[in-house]
Amino acid sequence: MQKYTQAKGSLFDWQCKKCAVLQSNIKVDTFFMLDRIRGLAERVPQCKKCGGVLRPNINMRNDFDWIETKTSDQLDRMQKFFEKDGIRKHSLTVLEIGAGPVQPLAREFAEIFLKNERYRCALIRINPVKERSS
């Protein structure tokens, strides 16, 4: 299986912009915009270590501040799982939910398994957005 490197991270993990610490299990209330012109917000999540502003641990296009350690570790564990000898003897079913045509990276991930002759794979796509016709 080819190495998948286009992961995006998780909305359930947060990272500090100031000290670059990755944090999980952060209770985040809804953000309320007080002043759209100045961009002030109320109840911004803060880092437990330094008090800096937290942001979701999501890779936003060309995001040089994204902390990718957790996502990379997860991808490495998945890669090792699929490299086991016994996994080749089984069929795989990839269930893709909500990755419509505007989510090419998620769709590409599922298609990696379909294109790999090493596995017998079925892909089930459940998308709320209608597919575009060619």
- pLDDT for residue 2 is more than 70: no
Residue ranges of domains in the chain, CATH in brackets: 1-83 (3.30.1600), 84-126 (no CATH)
What does the pLDDT look like over 89-112, one tens digit per residue?
667 888 888 887 777 777 887 788
Who wins on pLDDT, 117 or 88? 117
Which pLDDT score, from 0 to 100, does residue 50 have? 92
Residue 71 to residues 10, 61, 65, 98, 99, Cα–Cα distance (Å): 8, 16, 14, 20, 19
What does the pLDDT look like over 48-84, one tens digit per residue?
899 888 888 888 777 888 888 888 888 888 888 877 7
Who wins on pLDDT, 36 or 64? 64
Q: Counting beta carbons within 10 angstroms of the beta carbon of residue 15, is it exposed (0 to 12), middle (13 to 18) or buried (19 or more)?
A: buried
Using CA atoms, how far apart are residues 107 and 101, in angstroms rounded to an integer? 8
Who wins on pLDDT, 63 or 37? 63
Mean pLDDT score across all residues of the chain: 76
Q: Are 96 and 124 in contact (CB under 8 A)?
A: yes
Terminal-residue alpha carbon distance, the chain: 29
Using CA atoms, how far apart are residues 122 and 95, in angstroms rounded to an integer? 9
In the structure, what pLDDT confidence band is assigned to residue 38 with cuts at 50, 70 and 90?
low
